[in-house]
Structure 1
Amino acid sequence: MDNRTTAPGGFRPAEPCAPRRRRRSRRVLPAALAGGVLAGAVLMMLPTEQPQHAVVRPPVAGPQAQALAALASGTPAAPSQLTALIAQQERRVHTRPRDARAWAVLGEAYAQRGSRTADPADFPRAERALGTSLKTGDAKNTEAYAGLTALALARRDFPTAKRYGEQVLRAAPKQWTAYPPLIDAYTGLGDYKAVQTSLDKLLALRLDAAARPAVMAHASAVYRDRGWREDAVAQLTDAAAAAGTPVAQAGYLAGLGQLAFERGDLPDALRHFEASSRLVPGQGAVLAGTGRTLAALGRTREAFAAYRAALAQQPSPRIAYELGELYEARGMPREARAQYGQLRALVDKQMAAGVDEELLLGQYETDHADADEAVARLWAEWQRQPGTEVADALGWALHRAGDDRQALGYASAATDRQKGGGVLSALYVFHRGLIEQELELDAPARRHLQEALRINPYFSPLRVPLARAALRELGGVPDEPPPDDTP
């Protein structure tokens, strides 16, 4: 059965015709995983003073061992640790060229480092190493297939991740680390029934204490996509409290910061991003989250600085796009154009290394370049991997190209809990509201635009003013805009 995201009434929208021009329950983990940690407890676990009676701990493992343990346990490793592991494995395969496991570890380390640093040059290296592992290993070689799954996810190639991930699962159905990559792949494909089935099977396994934080973090992501915000926060808070390494804890704290931002709780978001940065300084995604939050707080100068630091650490096209839109929202068109130019250059590098950036390019084309080109890109992306994010982007592109009736089917799919993931996204609901307004469906348009601002009144520096203006036109009463310290 096809469980992918569909439009209302159960139908999959037909291929867009030539666009016309515009007129103008809570779910919780089993008791074995729930730590009972209250929200905010993680921050209390980061004291600045040493305890009175310090416990003598064993020596800390070297960076190579830490990275290897992180790969084996499904938790993140720092780029410096991955670099040390890569150097070690390169020496190993040089002296033992038929060591299939060494090649597999090398390939997965390259894939993870490329993902963490947004350096696409690591992806072809990962592919070569993993291919060599397959040639030199036995038929099962689950480590190589697990690495190929991680590589496909880093490239946003969800069909390939699904294929390799299912191969790993068939070979090792009791191995818990086989399930989280498959959950990510099914999410990207919009197959939410498979997501829930995989999560249920994962939670039914006997898990040791070391595995529980990573499992809780993945459960949190599924709950977030279902719209179960409180459960998502509770599970990720427990994961951060139980994390075995500073890198893992920093990642979970950053996730809590993003969840707080998505519900418009700016002080909580900033507190979590700053706590993450104290544990592991210089994380590009965390600096970008800090910039996003500072911009919403009206601290624009600091936001620009945070975004620039993020790009220096992690030259991600997505971060470049966010910074360009912030420049545009603050009335700095020259800087915005330069930033969009950097976005295109970074996208070109990523795509040359096999990364699928069609979604991001389609989103950029929709709002800042050629909506017809965006429709063509996003329609092809929908055919290949029809997740909720693609449904929203395609619906918005069709609207901008003038085909509002077709657009509404996709926008409804992205915001309908019965047809998609059910994520509470202010951006998706905003898109649906403006499409409905264009179709003169004033009552649902007003309802959805008000809902977008209730979900997160700071969701986008460019689009929040549009939502307020549309509500004024419809007779709604929007909230007051956030402050801005731009001169």
Structure 2
Amino acid sequence: MPQQTGPVDPATHPAADPAADPNGRPRGRGMLRAAGVTVALGAALFLAGTIGLSPLNQDPGTAKDERPGASSPHGSIDALRADLRRLPENPVGWAQLGMAYVQQGRTSADPALYAKAESALRRSLKVQPRDNYQAETGMGALAAARHDFASALIWARKATAANPSNAAAQGVLADAYTQLGRYEESYRAVQRMTDLRPDTSSLARASYTWELRGDLPRARALMKRALDDAASPPDQAFARLHLATLAQETGDARTALREASAGLRGAKDDAPLLEARARAHAALGHDRQAVADYTAAVAIVPLPQYVLGLGELQQSLGRNAQARTQYAVLRAQEQVRRATGAPADTDAILFEADHGDTASAVTMGRDAIKARPFIAVQDAYAWALHRAGRDAEALPYADRALSLGTRSALYHYHRAMIHDELGDTSAAREDLKQALAVDPHFHPLHAPRARTTLDRILGRSEGAS
């Protein structure tokens, strides 16, 4: 998306599932270190909520758990409910149903499904109060989907204590630690997950470890392994999505377009892939195709990042009326968020900072960072403070956003503009150069401003000499 906040998190895609293959087959067993990459050097940073649909009770070396309900079709809510009508006291079945609702809630952007998920998961815990790591894993994923990462951590710890060898529980634990800014602990959970089950989901997390540390060649190598391991069309689409994102983050829009298009051949209605292809088209100057892909993604699921991406692309093309239509949708979504008391995400903070009320953006960012001190939130809060004219306060947060070595053009641009306002043109120049070197088309509105600002600074420096 144009309003990119750094690396796109693999775990936000429906296929980012650290549980078993949907048909009960064990995943590939090639060890992570065999690729010459040691996750121990990384810090895994993930957004949780899309893990462990079926079967939650499968551990490494176990092809299938034979208890009733354990082998229900992946994500098939109707089948799970039918099983539970026959066996209403099956805790595994209730846990699977809860996770299926979590998954559906994330892919449909319908938070009402989370209430159904919680009901099913609590029913599982009522049937089996102790050592129910399936339901505990599900409750952790549900809390993460609601952006309550402190609760997600509590549930993930319970699940891993009940069953330390379950990869799905380790994935939830890693994701919670990541969003809470506890990166070393997150890394250890990712390493355990990968050791337990080196499959598409764990390899994706390993890839993300290196991506956020700025080592994109290693990140690509692991994501290609994830693609090779992908046993289903959703897994393949997920891997293609992330390979497209990695290409985009190095300014290679043609490779990004090729990977996104390949993924869409097997999943034509995949909204994340449509967004990835839209970004690639926009970077290549294919405006019509970019608008079409963004519009299709929004029609499938109106996530704020897609709506914002479409609105800012339209604005960059001078189509202000169309842009205002998208911004109106975002404002309506923000009213719903505030009414429900849900925490603001980075897209909402950045939208308010760039297109709304900067004081509100600062408040949203301050509240978000208390609950979720992840680097993307650090960057969004820094930008909100900058837009409110509070650059001295903003700089430490901008520094933290880049503290892991993440190659994010947007983060560097944000910090550059903060440095510029503070009169540090040397630091601003270096950040602007870095932003444009990473991706010269990182944002339809900010990338042109980055070039204009850099030209001004270079002109000022040449004049001074």
- TM-score under structure 2 normalisation? 0.82
178-187 vs 266-275, which moves further: 178-187
CA-to-partner distance for each residue in 1:225-245, whole Å, 9 max, x for gaps? 111111110000011012111
Q: 1:464 to 1:346 in 2, by over 3 A?
A: same
Which residue in 1 is equivalent to 2:94? 103
Contact 1:148 1:164 in 2 (8 A): yes
Which residue in 2 is equivalent to 1:316? 303
Distance 1:381 1:441 in 2: 28
Q: 2:401 aligns with which of 406, 410, 414?
A: 414
Letter in 1 for 2:446: R
Which residue in 2 is equivalent to 1:265? 252
Contact 2:56 2:134 in 1 (8 A): no
Which residue in 2 is equivalent to 1:33? 32
Q: Does 2:54 match 1:68?
A: yes
Which residue in 1 is equivalent to 2:132? 141
Shift in Å, 1:320: 0.6
Distance 2:341 2:123 in 1: 18
Distance 1:424 1:371 in 2: 26
Which residue in 2 is equivalent to 1:131? 122
- 3-state SS, counterpart of residue 54 of structure 2: helix
Q: 1:153 to 1:427 in 2, by over 3 A?
A: same
Q: 1:449 aligns with which of 432, 439, 462?
A: 432
Instruction: Give the aligned length.
Output: 405
Contact 2:190 2:202 in 1 (8 A): no
Which residue in 2 is equivalent to 1:117? 108
Contact 2:237 2:273 in 1 (8 A): no
Letter in 1 for 2:328: G
Distance 1:119 1:223 in 2: 32
CA-to-partner distance for each residue in 1:101-157, whole Å, 9 max, x for gaps? 211111100101111232323211111111221122231211111111221222222
Q: Does 2:282 match 1:283?
A: no
Shift in Å, 1:355: 5.1
Q: Does 2:155 match 1:164?
A: yes
Q: 1:352 to 1:136 in 2, by over 3 A?
A: farther
Q: Does 2:392 match 1:374?
A: no
Q: Does 2:241 match 1:222?
A: no
Consecutive unaligned residues in structure 1, runs of 5 or more: 1-29, 38-65, 75-80, 478-487
Contact 2:56 2:96 in 1 (8 A): no
Consecutive unaligned residues in structure 2, runs of 5 or more: 1-28, 37-51, 61-72, 461-465
Which residue in 1 is equivalent to 2:167? 176
Which residue in 1 is equivalent to 2:371? 384
Distance 1:370 1:351 in 2: 15
Letter in 1 for 2:187: Q
Letter in 2 for 1:373: S
Letter in 2 for 1:326: L
Contact 1:33 1:212 in 2 (8 A): no
CA-to-partner distance for each residue in 1:287-339, whole Å, 9 max, x for gaps? 01111111111111111110111111122121111111111111111111110
Shift in Å, 1:358: 4.0
Between the two proteins, what is the percent identity of the paired residues? 35
Letter in 2 for 1:151: L
Distance 1:195 1:100 in 2: 29
Contact 1:291 1:306 in 2 (8 A): yes
Shift in Å, 1:176: 2.1
Matches within 5 A, 1:75-90: 85-90=76-81
Which residue in 2 is equivalent to 1:424? 407
Contact 1:120 1:350 in 2 (8 A): no
CA-to-partner distance for each residue in 1:171-200, whole Å, 9 max, x for gaps? 111222222222222111111111222223
Shift in Å, 1:398: 0.7
CA RMSD in angstroms comes to 2.4
Which residue in 1 is equivalent to 2:66? none
Contact 1:155 1:354 in 2 (8 A): no
CA-to-partner distance for each residue in 1:345-389, whole Å, 9 max, x for gaps? 344556767753343322111010111111111111111111111
CA-to-partner distance for each residue in 1:397-438, whole Å, 9 max, x for gaps? 111111111111111111123xxxx31111001000110011
Which residue in 2 is equivalent to 1:293? 280
Q: Does 2:198 match 1:199?
A: no
Distance 1:93 1:355 in 2: 31
Distance 1:206 1:73 in 2: 8
Contact 1:434 1:445 in 2 (8 A): yes
Which residue in 1 is equivalent to 2:47? none
CA-to-partner distance for each residue in 1:243-268, whole Å, 9 max, x for gaps? 11121111111110111111110011
Which residue in 1 is equivalent to 2:319? 332
Contact 1:149 1:160 in 2 (8 A): yes
Contact 2:312 2:444 in 1 (8 A): yes
Which residue in 2 is equivalent to 1:304? 291
Which residue in 2 is equivalent to 1:213? 200
Q: 2:143 aligns with which of 134, 144, 152?
A: 152
Contact 1:82 1:113 in 2 (8 A): no
Distance 1:230 1:308 in 2: 32
Q: 1:329 to 1:72 in 2, by over 3 A?
A: farther
Contact 1:285 1:314 in 2 (8 A): no
Letter in 2 for 1:157: D
Letter in 1 for 2:235: A
Letter in 2 for 1:33: L
Letter in 2 for 1:309: A
Contact 2:84 2:90 in 1 (8 A): yes
Q: Does 2:242 match 1:247?
A: no
Q: Does 2:330 match 1:343?
A: yes
